[in-house]
Every structure is written in C-alpha cells, then in structure tokens.
Amino acid sequence: MNATQPRLQVRDLQIRLLQGHGALPLVRGVSFDLHDGKTLALVGESGSGKSLTALSLMRLLARNARWECSGQALLSDDDGKTLDLLQISDEHMRQLRGERIGMIFQEPMTCLNPVLPVGEQIAESVRLHRRLDHRSARMQALRALEQVEIPSARQRLDEYPHQLSGGMRQRVMIAMAMVCEPQILIADEPTTALDVTIQAQILNLMSRLQEQTGMSMLFITHNLGVVAHHAERVAVMYAGQVVERADVHDLFAQPSHPYTQGLLACLPGRARQQARQTGRTVPLQDIGGQAPAMDALGPGCSFAPRCSACMPVCLSQAPAWRASAAHQRMCHLEGQP
Ligand SMILES: Nc1ncnc2c1ncn2[C@@H]1O[C@H](COP(=O)(O)OP(=O)(O)OP(=O)(O)O)[C@@H](O)[C@H]1O
Ligand SMILES: [Mg+2]
C-alpha cells in the first residue's frame, strides 16, 4: 500500500431501516477516507446517523431491527489489496473485528461483561485472534492495561468492571480495542460520559497511542470543541448525509456550509471569546428549529427549513457538491468553499 492510499474508503454508504413494506433511509450516501496515522472526526447533531455509519462498518447494526446497506467500505491491506467490509462473510468479519478494526463505544458498561474480570475480557480477544495460550494472553492483557496507563495494572487485571471508575472503564475499553493493534480504531463518543478532566486525559491517551501505532481513527462526536485538537480532517453530518468535508483548520477558519457555521457559532468558547472582545455578555447561540423527521424529508436540501441563507431552489432541489481541492460542501450557495 503506498503512503497516499487510504486505509479505508467508504463510498456512497446507504443504510435503510426496513419497516413493513417500506424502507426508511437513515444514512444517505456517505463517503469518506481514513488514512494511517490520521484522525477523521465525524460530527453532527444527535440522530444524524454517525453511530449507524460506524456500526455498519463493523457490521454491528442493532439486531432488533432489519437493515439494508449498500455502497462500499474498502479496507486495504499493506500490499494494497482491498476487501469490501459490506460484502465479506460474517465469519470473515468476525476475524477482522478486533484484529484489524477496533471500536470503542460511548458507554463502556454496555460492552464490558459485568461478571468477568477485566483482564480476562482483554485476554479473550487476544486468544481469539492470536491463538495464544492462557498465560501469554494474560501477559498481553497486562501490557495493554499498562499501555492505557492504568495504575496498578497487575492488580486491576483481576478486578470486575464495577470496581473501576468511569474513566478507568473507558481505559479498559480502549485496551480491549487496541490489544490486537488494529489498523483502524472507531471511537463513538468515547468520552461524553466522562467529566472534562478525565475526558481530556482519555483523548490525549488516544492521540499518544495513535502516534505509537500509526493506526487510523474515526472519531465520532457531537462536540466540535474537542475536534480541533484531535483530528486532521472533519466530516459534518446532517440528516444522514455528509454536508461538509474539510481539513480541521479550514473548517474552523472558514466553515462553509450554513449548518457548520451554526454549529461553530454554538460553541461556548466562541461566546466567551466574543464576550472578551466586546466586553459584553453574549448569549449562547443555537441553531433554530429541529432536525427533520427522516420519513418526511422534502425534495430539497434537508437543512433548508433551518437555514438563514435559504433560497427558493433549496426547497425544491437537492444540492450538489461544491468543491475546492480539500474542502467540499453540499449546498446551493454560490462560490467555492
Ligand atoms: N435500532 C434502531 N432502530 C430504529 N431506528 C434506529 C435504530 N438505531 C438508530 N436509529 C435511528 O437512526 C437515526 C440515526 O441514529 P444514530 O444513532 O446513527 O445517530 P447519531 O448521529 O449517532 O446520534 P447521537 O449523537 O445521538 O449518538 C436516528 O433517527 C435513530 O432514531
Ligand atoms: Mg451515536
């Protein structure tokens, strides 16, 4: 694989929820690339389809519903050969999960087994993928706990999830996801359940691990504040679509889609900065209105009803991409992003 080839190429990902005789499109043509050693942040408000996107790549969409996925998710190996995560067999996918792609979820307790010591849970993954004996797998688990900087790691090996603090449990989740040194780590809101200090520690830890291993990261969050420090590229989702893609500095310096502009204006830091500059208290902004119901989308841009720059064409026609080399926006507004 040459240095510029993406590790993962997601193309036109569509996820539909099958209901009765119909299908509700919830993810609508999402495309992005993941590169070794780099982080792509997937941001957007609640319900925009971030988790569905991640879960579909792991083939872990909830079993309580019926889904239809299309598009491609091409994973490259070091020789440049690709396989499509959406097409391979369930058995093949089970081998890849943990081994080549790891995932960290928002709430560790939903993924940790409450009746198994954490060391065994980590070791299980190594035993499965590396076919190690019990003792060697335990040693690997210990190393993984040390790598995520858990104090008294040897003692923690035999502790149960409920004996650990929230931050500690999140570190265990990271250790589990990282123990087989995956090429890709998907982190779905890995720190939103934690207080801000622990959140910063965990995010810094993930960045350090990424530097050490060169893995590629898909970092899902609705908090644009943390994106600036932890991602190189950003894809902004709205109503099941990516509406803007850019390098992180461009996105913050020149947000181009009205939705992204609204998101950035909502950041508390911006309000503080304005307050400092003007000497007056600036009320926190929000984007007026609500995200659209996915079963009642009109023919035009799905953000149009909330958009302050809305034009007649926005209500009647779906926008196409407008692009400069590294910055793209799906919007009818004139001019390059
Ligand atoms: N198991 C499910 N059954 C039915 N609908 C679902 C299911 N999971 C997700 N959805 C719907 O799919 C849409 C996208 O959900 P998703 O969880 O991907 O959003 P999200 O962007 O991750 O939001 P959040 O920031 O709240 O985590 C939502 O409208 C949600 O209600
Ligand atoms: Mg989610």
Distance of CA 194 from the midpoint of ligand 2 (Å): 16
Atom of ligand 1 nearest to the CA of 49: 18
Atom of ligand 1 nearest to the CA of 45: 25
| Residue of 261, 280, 264, 262 whose CA lies nearest to 272 | 280
pLDDT tens, residue by residue, 136-164: 999 999 999 998 889 999 999 999 999 99
Atom of ligand 1 nearest to the CA of 62: 1
Atom of ligand 1 nearest to the CA of 222: 25
The pLDDT assigned to 130 comes to 85
In order of 1, 32, 69, 117, 314, the CA distances from 29 in angstroms are: 26, 10, 10, 41, 19
**Is the Cβ–Cβ distance between 169 and 108 less than 8 Å?**
yes
Pocket test for ligand 1, best of 16, 27, 46 (most atoms within 8 A of CB): 46
The pLDDT assigned to 225 comes to 79
The runs of H, that is alpha helices, within the chain are 50-58, 90-99, 118-130, 134-147, 153-156, 166-178, 196-213, 224-230, 248-253, 258-265, 268-278, 312-316
The pLDDT assigned to 276 comes to 65
The pLDDT assigned to 287 comes to 79
Whose C-alpha lies nearest to ligand 1, atom 1? 62
The pLDDT assigned to 334 comes to 87
pLDDT tens, residue by residue, 168-201: 998 999 999 989 989 999 999 988 777 888 888 8
3: helix, strand or coil:
coil
pTM equals 0.92
300: helix, strand or coil:
coil
Whose C-alpha lies nearest to ligand 1, atom 5? 17
Tell me which of 132-146, 254-268, 307-321 is least confident. Answer: 254-268
The pLDDT assigned to 329 comes to 96
**Is the Cβ–Cβ distance between 118 and 161 less than 8 Å?**
yes
Whose C-alpha lies nearest to ligand 1, atom 24? 46
Whose C-alpha lies nearest to ligand 1, atom 17? 51
DSSP 123-135: HHHHHHHH---HH
Number of helices (H) and strands (E), helices first, in the chain? 12, 12
The pLDDT assigned to 105 comes to 84
Q: Is the pLDDT of residue 284 over 60?
A: no
Q: Is the pLDDT of residue 256 over 70?
A: yes
The pLDDT assigned to 34 comes to 98
The pLDDT assigned to 270 comes to 62
Please name every residue paired with 32 in a beta bridge, in sequence order, or none if there are none.
10
pLDDT band at 279 (very low <50, low <70, confident <90, very high): low
| CA-based torsion, 202, 207, 213, 218: positive or negative | positive
Whose C-alpha lies nearest to ligand 1, atom 19? 47
pLDDT band at 273 (very low <50, low <70, confident <90, very high): low
The pLDDT assigned to 128 comes to 84
The pLDDT assigned to 325 comes to 80
Using the 8-state DSSP alphabet, how is residue 318 labeled? P
pLDDT tens, residue by residue, 33-90: 999 999 999 999 889 999 999 999 999 999 999 999 999 999 999 998 999 999 999 9
Give the residue-averaged pLDDT of 302-310. Answer: 94
The pLDDT assigned to 164 comes to 93
Give the residue-averaged pLDDT of 282-287. Answer: 64
